[in-house]
Amino acid sequence: MDKDDSVFILLIKLAPLSLMTIGGGLSIVGDLQRLSVEHGWFTAEGFNEIFALSRVAPGPATLIVTLIGWHVAGFMGAITASLAIFLPSSILTYCVARLWHAHRSAIWTRAVAVGLAPIAAGLIISSTVLLLHDAVGQYIAWLVATLTAALSWRTRSGPLPLLAIGGIVFVALYRPFA
């Protein structure tokens, strides 16, 4: 497949996903992983590695598409992937915000807000399970993820201490079988 075809595939596959980022970019990570593996851009393990790299950088979880685009088609792939993931959802958000502001006291606005919360949570949980399924040191990854979620919920602490604790636990327990 040549570079132009790859850029076009990035555009037509990522733009619809942009509209599914309810609850943030984490809600589409599972779809991004499937897409990347199906097209042979990454293995499941390779995807998990770039996902981890993208989470170290500040910014939204959807920045991973820039890395995917760069890997697939260089600079044009990175630009195309970024625009495909950010532009449609930004336009939709602008339109919905205008409508929301005009009808902020309507009953449907509360119903939509309450209804989208469990959908967003479900999409994020689905992506998390998919990433953990293909994680290196799978049982340790599940343990660290569960402990991180429990600590986050119980202590309401920020992400930095949780990242440090999770990293320490994983390094202490992980022993690759080589």
How crowded is residue 56: how many other Cβ atoms within 10 Å of its Cβ?
7
Task: Indicate the number of domains in the chain.
Answer: 2
- Between 126 and 174, residue with greater pLDDT: 126
Same domain, 78 and 155: no
Same domain, 39 and 120: yes
> Tell me, what's the pLDDT at 177?
54
Same domain, 115 and 28: yes
Same domain, 83 and 156: no
pLDDT, one tens digit per residue, over 39-59 is: 999 998 899 889 888 887 888
> Tell me, what's the pLDDT at 121?
85
Query: 132, 28, 41, 137: which is closest to 85 by C-alpha?
Result: 28
Confidence class for position 137, pLDDT limits 50, 70, 90 = low
* Mean of all residue pLDDT scores within the chain: 86
Same domain, 76 and 152: no
Same domain, 81 and 47: yes
Same domain, 84 and 159: no
Burial 72-109 (b: 16+ CB within 10 A, else e): bbeebbbbbbbbbbbebbeeeeeeeeeeeeeeeeeeee
Same domain, 61 and 142: no
Query: 87, 88, 80: which is closest to 6 by C-alpha?
Result: 80
Same domain, 125 and 154: no
**Has residue 144 got a pLDDT over 90?**
no
pLDDT, one tens digit per residue, over 69-98 is: 999 999 999 999 999 999 999 999 999 999
pLDDT, one tens digit per residue, over 166-175 is: 778 777 877 6
The residue range of the domain holding 174 is 136-178
Same domain, 25 and 101: yes
